Structure 1
Amino acid sequence: MEDIFVVKRCNKIIIHGRRAGEVNHAPPDAAVWYRIADTRTRGFIGDGYDHEEDARRECHQLNARSQVTARQS
């Protein structure tokens, strides 16, 4: 059976603000984060994860639960 939930890598740009009167500010930082996507609805599950291992672990648990539910139906 094909996995319903998959991990998607997303780009994240962190913009640093500056206070009134400051001339220089730090440039934006490029980073990544990970989200769990539902292949049926193309929606996302949860708030996202900073570490890929955490997203994969949760994704594995969601897929395992969905397979048990499908077998019981």
Structure 2
Amino acid sequence: MSLILYQRDDCHLCDLALDVLASAGTPEFESVFIDGDAGLEARYGMRVPVLRDAVSGNELDWPFDADAVAGFLAASNRPR
């Protein structure tokens, strides 16, 4: 699995991102909660939610919609 959604606990934007990913037909991804991880908080604290392709290193910062997700997946050569 190479898609990761970085998020926080009790994050309404993260909940919205999950809805967008579902409506975009995003393939399976891992949810990583950054709370309590100093390195992840430093990198993603002000940016969450962030969708990352761990293979390419490409990241899609919030806000995004289904079209942006589709473009991100196409750029990463991932099927929807």
TM-score, L = length of structure 1: 0.31
Structure with the larger RCO, 1 or 2 (CA within 8 Å, 6+ apart):
2
Which has the higher Rg, Structure 1 or Structure 2? 1
